[in-house]
Homo-oligomer: A and B are copies of this chain.
Amino acid sequence: MKRLIALCLVTLLPTPALAQTAGTSSVKQQIVPQVAKTGIMASAQSPDGRLRIEISTDNDGHMAYAVFRNGKPLIGTSRLGFNLTDGYALFRKMVFDGAETATANSRWEQPWGERRFVTDHHNELLVKFHQDEPTHRLLNVRFRLFDGGLGFRYEFPEQPNFKTVNIAEELTEFNVLPEGTAWWIPGGEWNRYEQIYQETPINAVSIAHTPITMRLKDGTHLSIHEAALVDYAAYWLKRQANGSFRTTLSPSSRGARVIRDTPFTTPWRTIRIADNAAGLVENDLELNLNEPNKLGDVSWIHPSKYIGIWWGMISGRWSWAEGPTHGATTARTKQYIDFAAKHGFRGVLVEGWNKGWNGDWFGHGDEFSFTEAVPDFDLPALSAYAKTKGVHLIGHHETGGNIANYEPQLEAAFAQNQRMGIEVTKTGYVADLGGIVAPGDKPGEVRMEYHDGQRQVQHLLKVVEVAAKYHNAIDTHEPVKDTGLRRTYPNWIDREGARGMEYNAWGPFANGPEHEPTLVYTRMLSGPMDFTPGILSLKGGNDVPLASTLAKQLGLYLAIYSPIQMAADLIENLEAHPRELDFISKVPADWSESHLIAGEVGDYAIFARKDRNSNNWYVGGVNDATPRTLDLSFDFLDPGKTYVATIYKDAPGETYLTDSRHQIAYDSKKVRRGDHYSLWLAPGGGAAMSLVPAR
Query: Contact residues of A with B, CB < 8 Å?
Result: 83-89, 91-92, 168-169, 171, 186, 188-191, 195, 204, 206-207, 238-241, 251-256, 363-364, 432-435, 437, 440, 445-448
Contact = CB atoms under 8 A, between A and B. Distances in A.
Given A189-B240, A189-B241, A256-B253, A448 B206 contact: no
Nearest to A89: B433
Nearest to A169: B434
Contacts of A363: 88, 92
Given A84-B434, A168-B448, A253-B255, 13 more contacts: A84-B448, A85-B447, A85-B448, A89-B433, A89-B434, A91-B433, A92-B363, A189-B241, A191-B241, A207-B207, A251-B251, A252-B255, A253-B256
A445 B437 CA distance: 30
Contacts of A190: 83
A86 B256 contact: no
Contacts of A253: 85-86, 168, 255-256
A658 to B, nearest CB: 29
Q: How many copies does the complex hold?
A: 2
Given A168-B253, A433-B171, A89 B448 contact: yes
11 contacts: A84-B448, A85-B447, A87-B448, A91-B432, A91-B433, A92-B432, A168-B251, A168-B434, A169-B433, A252-B255, A255-B255
Contacts of A206: 206-207, 239
A252 B86 CA distance: 11
Given A255-B252, A255-B254, A446 B86 contact: yes
Contact of A432 (B89, B241, B435): B89
A498 to B, nearest CB: 14
A204 B84 CA distance: 31
A189 to B, nearest CB: 7
Nearest to A133: B364
A195 B241 contact: yes
Nearest to A240: B189
A440 B169 CA distance: 18
A86 B440 contact: yes
Contact of A446 (B87, B240, B437): B87
A124 B367 CA distance: 42
A316 to B, nearest CB: 16
A253 B204 CA distance: 30
A633 to B, nearest CB: 40
Contacts of A195: 241
Which has the most chain B C-beta neighbours within 10 Å: A85, A188, A207?
A85
B86 A445 contact: yes
A620 B23 CA distance: 78
Contacts of A440: 86
Nearest to A186: B241
Nearest to A440: B86
Nearest to A92: B432
Contacts of A445: 86
Contacts of A85: 253, 447-448
Contacts of A254: 255
A433 B364 CA distance: 37
A464 to B, nearest CB: 27
Nearest to A166: B253
A242 B364 CA distance: 25
Nearest to A207: B206
A13 to B, nearest CB: 38
Contacts of A83: 190, 433-434, 448
A245 to B, nearest CB: 12
Contacts of A446: 86-87
A266 B171 CA distance: 31
Nearest to A241: B186
Contacts of A87: 446, 448
A488 B36 CA distance: 54
A186 to B, nearest CB: 4
Contacts of A240: 186, 189
A125 B476 CA distance: 46
A315 B369 CA distance: 70
A477 to B, nearest CB: 20
Contacts of A252: 255
Nearest to A188: B238
A241 B499 CA distance: 15
Contacts of A432: 89, 91-92
A84 B190 CA distance: 13
A434 to B, nearest CB: 4
A363 B83 CA distance: 13
Contact of A204 (B204, B256, B447): B204
A433 to B, nearest CB: 5
A506 to B, nearest CB: 16
A276 to B, nearest CB: 30
Contacts of A364: 88
A282 to B, nearest CB: 31
Contacts of A189: 240-241
